[in-house]
A = this chain, B = another copy of it.
Amino acid sequence: MARTAAPGTRERILDVAGALFYTEGVRAVGMSRIIGEVGCGKNLLYAHFPSKTDLVAAYLGRFRERRDRAEAQALREAGDDPGERLVALVAEIAGRLRRPDFRGCPFRNLLTEFPAGDELPERMAREYLAQTCELVGRLAGATGVPDPEGLADRIWLIIDGLYASGFRERAAEVAPDMVREAIAAARDPRAPAV
């Protein structure tokens, strides 16, 4: 609105709000808390984000943009082999586990906080999960294994486990190997059977 509004204000608000939402939860962080930590007036925040829902949606949107960029880069560097692309996808996610500020997947976390909600943030979260799940399915299909559905289920389970694992960050080390093994087993269905 402002003709010469202070640049970067919106980003600064999103920085603070995003960090709080992610580490403490959306429900746990009130608008007053954000205003206090940003150090701005209440009006300024509501000028940029008319409601808390808008602010949460912007928080998820920014998370998604960064996620998509990192994912695209990982897939680009992995080359053309669908199996290697699956490994790279999981390895990229596993890399996030090692960051000290990692606290799971913001989309899954939001749906845990608002399981019945159907506003923009919840829809964004469900859309993200559906699209990522679909990507896994496409990559699994491209490997040419006899049972691509089963392979996709396994990879998705590993990804879910990575995001849920607040306890063992060593999961980051085994996850890519598990993907390789799942692909190998899918290519040679006779082998397993303990």
A interface, CB within 8 angstroms of B: 23-25, 27-28, 83, 103-104, 108-109, 111-116, 129-130, 133, 149-150, 153-154, 156-168, 170-171, 173-175, 177-178, 180-185, 187, 191-194
Contact in complex: B166, A164 (CB < 8 Å): no
Inter-chain CA distance A175–B167, complex, in Å, is: 19
Copies of the protein in its oligomer? 2
- Which residues from B are CB-within-8-Å of A109? 112
If the complex has contacts A156-B167, A171-B156, A193-B180, are A24 and B115 also in contact, measured as CB distance less than 8 A? Answer: yes
| CB pairs A–B below 8 angstroms (21 shown) | A23-B115, A25-B113, A27-B27, A27-B28, A28-B113, A28-B114, A28-B116, A108-B166, A109-B112, A130-B167, A150-B174, A153-B170, A154-B178, A156-B161, A157-B161, A158-B158, A160-B171, A161-B164, A180-B193, A187-B194, A191-B191
Looking at A158, A167, A194, the one whose CB has the most chain B CB atoms below 10 A away is A194
Residue contact B116 to A166, C-beta cutoff 8 Å: no
Taking a contact as CB atoms under 8 Å apart, the answer to whether A157 and B166 are in contact is no
Complex contact B156–A160 (CB within 8 A): no
Q: Which of B158, B167, B183, B192 contacts A161 (CB 8 A)?
A: B158
Pick the residue among B112, B167, B184, B192 that contacts A177 (CB under 8 A): B192
- Docked-complex contact B156 and A180, CB < 8 angstroms: no
Which of B83, B167, B192 is the one whose CB lies under 8 Å from A194? B83
Q: With A178-B154, A182-B178, A194-B83 in contact, do A104 and B114 touch (Cβ < 8 Å)?
A: no
Given the known interface contacts A25-B113, A153-B170, A168-B153, the answer about A180 and B194 at a Cβ–Cβ threshold of 8 Å is yes
Instruction: Evaluate whether A175 and B192 lie within 8 angstroms (CB atoms) in the complex, with A113-B113, A133-B167 already known.
Output: no
